[in-house]
Structure 1
Amino acid sequence: MLSERQEQIISASIGLIDRLGIQGFTIKNLSKEIGISEPAIYRHFVSKVEILATILDGFRQRVSIYHEEKSAVQLPAQERIEQFFKMIFNVFADNPTLISVIFAEEIFRNEPALSQKVMEIQQINEKELSAIISEIALKEELKDTPVETLVMMFFGPVRLLARKWKMQDCRFDLRKEGDQLIQTIIKMISL
C-alpha cells in the first residue's frame, strides 16, 4: 500500500513522462513539480527506476485483479474479449497519461527489471486472451493460424488506436472507437 506522498510522486511522475518524455523525467523536475526537495523524494523511492517499477506494478495489479474477477463469471468468449478490451480502453480514457508509460517499453530497454515488468504485463494479457480465443469458433481459413498470431491481431491495433488517440490530444471517443475496433476484429476471425 502506497502512502499519500508516494501516490503523489507516482501521479506527478506519470504527468512528467507524458509532458516531457522520459528524458524530462528527472528527480530534479519531479521535485519542482511536487514542490518538495529531491532528498524528500528519495525518502519515498530510492530511484527513478523504483518509481517506474511502481507505476508498472500498479498497472499489472489492476490487470491481474480484472482477470481474476472475470474468470469467476461465465460469459461467452466473444463477450469476455469485448469486456477485457473495454476495461483497457476505460483505463486509458480515464488516465491518458498512462499510455505514455505503458506503451513506451523502448525506454525500459536499458533497465532489465523494468523490461521484465512490461513483459509480465504483456504475458498476463496474452495468456488470458489466448485462452479466450481458443474457445471461439474460428472461420475455416483461420483454424490453422497460431493463437499467438490471433492475439497480435488484437493487441497491435489496440496499441495503435491508443497511441493515435493520445497523439491527437484525446479528441475522439476512445471507448467508442475501441469498441468498434474490437467488434470488427471479432467479426473478422469468428463464424
Structure 2
Amino acid sequence: MAKKMKRESTEVRQQQIIEAAQKIIFKHGSEHLTVKRIADMVGISEAAIYRHFKSKKSILSFLLTYIENILLNDIAEERKGTELVTLDTIDKIILRHFSMIDMRKGLSFQVIAEIVSLGDRKLNKKAAQTIDKYISSLVELLSTGVKDGAIRKDIDLEASATLLFTLIHGLVNMWALNDGSFKLINKYSSLWQIYREAISNR
C-alpha cells in the first residue's frame, strides 16, 4: 500500500508523477509503466494519480510536452544575450546541451524512443512533432549562423540540422547503451570537428 503523503499542489504533484514515469520507463521500459508503479514510486494512491491524469496515455502525452520544453530550453537558454552566431557559439550551445543530457542521464531521448516503441499512433505523432520542433530550433540556429557569415550559404539548412540532430541523438543512444561508460563531450568533440569543417564558411 502506498504511504500517505501531504497534499501537494497540482503542479508539484504532476511533476512528481512525470519524474516517476521517466524513471520507470528508463529503468524498466515503457511496457512496464503502470499507474500502480507510478503511485508506488511517488508514494500516493492510484486514485490520486487519476485526479491529475485520466489515463496512462495522458501521462505519456504530458511527458512528451515536458521533454519538448526541456530540449528546446537547453538551446534557447544558451542563446540568450548572444548577438552573433558563430561556429564557436553553436559548439558552446551543443556542449551545454550534452552537459544537461548527461546530468539527466539521457532520459529525454530514451523516453521518446520508448514511447514510440508502444506503437500508439497519437503518441507517435506527438513524438514526431517534438522532434520536428527540436530540428526546427537547430535550423533557426544554423540559419542565423549563415546570416552572420559563419556558415556556408549554399548548405541545405534542413538537411544540416537533421544531420546535427542525428549526431546528437545517435551519440546519446550509444552512451545510454553503454551505461554512460564514456564522456559524451569527449566523443562529441571529434564528431563536431568533422561537422564543423563541412558547414564552415571558410
Give the TM-score taking structure 1 as reference length.
Answer: 0.81
| Separation in 1, partners of 2:114, 2:197 | 30
Name the SS for the 2:140 alignment partner. helix
Match of 1:54 in 2: 62
C-alpha spacing 1:48/1:183, structure 2 compared with 1 (3 Å):
farther
SS in 2 for 1:103: helix
Name the residue aligned to 1:73.
Answer: 82
RCO higher in structure (CA 8 A, sep ≥6): 1
Match of 1:165 in 2: 175
- Deviations along 1:161-186, one digit per CA (max 9) or x if unpaired, are 10111111111111332344323311
How big is the shift at 1:160? Answer: 1.1
Q: Is the 8 A contact 2:116 2:127 kept in 1?
A: no
Pair 1:98 & 2:108 matched: yes
Give 2:198's aligned residue.
Answer: 188
Matched, 1:4 2:8: no
Q: 1:117 — aligned with what?
A: 126
Contact 1:82 1:183 in 2 (8 A): no
In the alignment, structure 1 residue 41 sits paired with structure 2 residue 49: yes
Displacement of 1:94 = 1.0
Distance change >3 Å, CA 71–CA 128, structure 1 → 2? farther
Moved more, 115-124 or 166-175: 115-124
1:62–1:18: structure 2 CA closer, same or farther, 3 Å change rule?
closer
Paired with 1:8 and 1:149, the residues of 2 have a C-alpha distance of 37
Q: Quick check: 1:85–1:182 contact (8 Å CA) kept in 2? A: no
**Distance 1:117-1:182 versus aligned 2 partners, 3 A rule:** farther
1:56 and 1:117 in contact (8 A); partners too: yes
For residues 179 and 55 of structure 1, what CA distance do their matches in structure 2 show? 30
How large is the Cα RMSD of the aligned pairs? 2.6
Q: What per-residue deviation string (whole Å, max 9, x for no partner) do you get for residues 77-96 of structure 1? A: 31332233223312211111
Task: Provide the rounded CA distance (Å) in 1 between the counterparts of 2:99 and 2:10.
Answer: 23
How far apart in 2 are the matches of 1:173 and 1:152? 23
CA contact (8 A) 2:29 2:114 kept: no
Calculate percent identity across the aligned residue pairs.
25
Determine which of 36, 39, 52 is the counterpart of 1:31. 39
Q: Is the 8 A contact 1:80 1:132 kept in 2?
A: no
Give the one of 139, 164, 185 matched to 1:154.
164
String of CA shifts for 1:102-142, please: whole Å, max 9, x gaps: 33452364141x3343233322232232233340443xxx9
Whether the 8 Å contact between 2:25 and 2:33 is mirrored in structure 1 is yes
- The one-letter code matched in structure 2 to 1:154 is L
Determine helix, strand or coil for the equivalent of 1:3.
helix
**Structure 2: gaps spanning 5 or more residues:** 1-8
Amino acid across the alignment from 2:166: G
Give the SS at the match of 1:46. coil
